A and B are shown apart, each in its own frame.
Chain A
Amino acid sequence: MKLDLVHDIQAAYRLTLDSMSRPGLISNISNQADKLNMEISCFGSTLVLVLMLFDTEVKFKVCSECEAETAKLINQLTYAKETEIESADYILVLKDAKPEDLEEVFRKAYPGDLLDPHKAATIIIETDYVSNDQNLTLTGPGIEKESYIDVKTNDHWVKLRAEKNTEYPLGIDLIFTDWYDNILCLPRTTQIAKRVIK
């Protein structure tokens, strides 16, 4: 069955909205991602997010070994324009990106300015697996007391994110996707602490 660009995208949006408003809530959009019938070098869930959010108004950057072909395909599908990291509204860090790519993305991504903090970049990062294992503790708006996550990735993203988001309301928002089409959102308001077992 083909992805329904109205109803499937709406369903995926509501799950993304849930995850963004309740950081730590992992939503699965495989029902929608499985309906994609095209060859592309990113996860199905990443492409569903692209179809949900990208259009001519959006500037994006892809970090991947297949950067050129992925960017071309996204442009053909959505008419969004490829740009540099500094000016991108959305930055896709795909599974095959190098660890230094992620570091560069965190360093260069636009955090918004005090007049327009909403113009900050959203970074979509592909990982092996996201779960609610008790590795990282989240607190902040959207979380009743604490919630727990584990993101299977090799990079020091927690530290990089904390450095980038020191001056709230400036900061970047993250969306993680994984092989199983789970999505996990971390808006800039979420505080992350490494869980210490006493």
Chain B
Amino acid sequence: MIRDTGLFLGHELRNTFRNPIWPMFGIMQPVMYLLLFAPLFAGMAYGGDLGQALTMFAPGMLVITALFGTMGVAYGTIYEMRSGVLERIAVTPTWRPSIVLGRMLRDVAVLVVQSFMVILIALLMGLRIGPAGLVLTLLLLAVTGLFSSGVAYGLALSLGDENAMGQIMQFFALPLMLLSGALLPMALGPDWLERVAWFTPFYHPVEAGRALFAGNLTDVSIPLAFAIMLGLAALTVTWSVRSLRKITG
């Protein structure tokens, strides 16, 4: 089981790092927000104190990386279905779930590296964060990435169609991003909006990320975010493994 998952993870990582330019594109959007939008945010709400503003703003950008970064990769899986690659792998005596798990762990590994680079840029811009906060943030992002990667593979494997997948992701990505409070904290809005946001998944890692960046390591939002993300990750990983079984028997 572990050997097979490791094999797939290694194979996928080698594929990814042969073309390391693509993961770089994945952080373009959050980096642009940091460079070109965070200063406005600082001027608007923090009297121009960029370091302070980044504590608030950077966690949202990291969650956006997790949301969009892992979603894109699953498109490749639809191609693998059509070209017979998945089928060919499914007739080998490997442990079936490892086919999906290896790919997800690759996504998580790439995401952790991406997040680290985004944080690095934020640090250069004046963000201040303790080592414990940094490690916990990366861990939380890894679990968040596992969840969104699970959604992406589940969708890819059960739809098997790039167009349908694109439509569905377009439809959900924007409201989920807005309601996560990644751009502006939901606390700024009316009560009902924050209440709605509470029930969307990405709200929690953003809130927890802000607490971690602010150094409030005992804030209740942190264990809550971990619990919710772990639970959702478990559900979506199971779903995508099941979807694989449906197409390969």
A and B together in one complex: no
Residue numbers of B with Cβ under 8 A of A are: none
Residue numbers of A with Cβ under 8 A of B are: none
